[in-house]
Structure 1
Amino acid sequence: MASKKPVNNRPSVRHPSHNHPLRVFKARDEDEVVCSGCELDLTGQAFKCMKSDCDFFLHKSCFDLLREIKHKSHPDHSLTMLHSPPYGKSYTCDACGEYGSGFTYNCSECQYDVHVGCAFIPETVECEDHEHPLTLLYNTPCKGREDGAMFICDVCE
C-alpha cells in the first residue's frame, strides 16, 4: 500500500490518496488543521504532505484504513474505501445524513456511502446519563428522525 522513499534526507511515505510524498507529523491543537481523509480535526500522530504549498494531512488511523469492510448498516454488500467522493465533489453519508468530501466507504452497486468516522462508531456505549449500556441500531423506524442510526437501551428500550 505505502512505499517508503527518502526525500531531502527525510523519510517519506506514499499513500494512494495523494500524489506527493508524506512525512510524519505531530499535530497539536493549536495547529488547527483538518484531516483530508475523515475531515475531523487533526491531533496526535499524523502525516503531512512534504510539498510546502500543499495542505494535505492524514491521521495515522486514516492512513491505515482497511480497503474493504463489511458493515452492519449495509449487510448485503461489502463497502470499498474511496479516497474521493464517487459522485463529484461531495457525497451524503447514509449513516448520519451529513455531507462529506473526504474518504468514504462505498457500495457502488447501491450508491451507499458512509463517512470513515461513521463506519467505525462502536456497537455499544456506556453513558453517564443511563444505567445500562446502549446498543447502536440501524434503520430504526423512529418518528421525527431523518437518519436511520441511533442508540437504544437493550434493557429498557
Structure 2
Amino acid sequence: MEKPEAELLINHFSHPHPLKLVSFKPPSTLNRLTCSACTKQASGVIYTCDSCNYCLHKPCSKMPQHFKHEADSHTLSLLAAPPYPEGAFECNACGTKGTGFCYHCENCHLDLHTVCAFLRSSVKSNAHKHALNLCFESPYGDKA
C-alpha cells in the first residue's frame, strides 16, 4: 500500500519550511538529531526539513493544536516553543523543565510537556491494591 502523497510532504505550524517524511536511523555519533516537539532522539519515521536541522517524529507532527485537559478549565494551546524569555518551562505535571513543544494555558500559566499532557488519569498497578490517580498538585498539601 502506497503512502498518500499528502503525507510525504507537510507544512507544520511549528516550522516555516515544508517537512518531508523519511525513514531515519540515528548515526552512532555524538551529533544526534532530536525531535523539536518531544526533544527525544529522532529515529524511525520522521518529518525533516531539507533546508535546516529540524525534525519531528511522525506522531509528534499530529498532536492537536488545541485541546481540553482535566487539569485546567480553559483550552490548552500547543506552542512550538516555551512562552517564557528564558526558553524553558516547568511542567505542572512532572515538575521538570522542558524546552520543546508545550501545552500552555495563557490565563492560568499552566504548562505541560506533550507526553505529560496525554498521560492516563488513572492506572492500576500490581504494586498497590487501589487505582493510582494522576494529580497536578500534591494531595498532601504543604507536607510533601
Which residue is equivalent to 2:3? none
* Number of the residue aligned with 1:92: 90
RMSD of equivalent CA atoms: 2.5
Structure 2 residue ranges without an equivalent (≥5): 1-5
Aligned CA distance change for structure 1 residues 27 and 128 (closer, same or farther; 3 Å): farther
Tell me which of 110, 126, 136 is aligned to 2:134: 136
User: Structure 1: which 5+ residue stretches go unaligned?
Assistant: 5-10, 145-157
Match of 1:35 in 2: 35
Give 1:90 shift: 1.5
Kept in 1: contact 2:92–2:136 (CA 8 A): no
CA displacement at 1:13 relative to structure 2:
1.8
TM-score, normalization: structure 1? 0.72
Indicate conservation of the 8 Å contact 2:122/2:133, yes or no. Answer: yes
2: CA distance, partners of 1:124 / 1:71: 14
Residue correspondences, number: 134
- The structure with the greater share of residues assigned to strand is 1
1:103 partnered with 2:101 = yes
Q: Tell me the distance in 2 between the aligned counterparts of 1:133 and 1:112.
A: 25
Q: Deviations over 1:81-113 (max 9, x none)?
A: 111111121221121221112111111112211
Q: Could you tell me the percent identity over the aligned residues?
A: 35
Q: Distance in 2 between matches of 1:21 and 1:80?
A: 22
| Superposition misfits of 4+ residues, deviation over 6 angstroms | none
User: Could you report, residue by residue, the CA deviation over 1:40-70 in whole angstroms, capped at 9, with x for unpaired residues?
Assistant: 233332211112xx22110111111111111
TM-score (structure 2 length as normaliser): 0.78
